[in-house]
Amino acid sequence: MAARGGEQWTEAAAARRGLRLPYRTALATVFLEGHIFLFISVIGLRSKFAKFIPKLVRISSSTGIGLFLAFIGL
């Protein structure tokens, strides 16, 4: 969950600007999203969802993200 910390603020800001939501509503939405994600992780549903993704797709996604980060670093 720590890896998503920065993204949550970005999502709140984008929702506020794009959807013209009040700031508190955007933050409450992100707060609720975090709790739903925590609940799914605690009951083990998240790992079951991950098993539905083919192994080749998981490996290629990791490789693609790594190459993208390397490209940004150059």
Kindly report, residue by residue over 48-69, the tens digit of the pLDDT: 888 888 999 989 998 999 999 9
Report the C-alpha gap between 66 and 42 in whole angstroms: 28
12 lies in a domain?
A: no
Q: Kindly report the pTM of this predicted structure.
A: 0.55
51 lies in a domain?
A: yes
Measured CA distances, 53 to 13, 41, 58 (Å): 30, 17, 7
Quote the number of domains for the chain: 1
Residue that wins the pLDDT comparison between 8 and 74: 74
28 lies in a domain?
A: yes
- List Cβ neighbours of 33 (8 Å cut-off, separation of 6 or more): 8, 11
29 lies in a domain?
A: yes
Q: Is the pLDDT of residue 17 over 90?
A: no
9 lies in a domain?
A: no
62 lies in a domain?
A: yes
Domain span including residue 42: 23-73
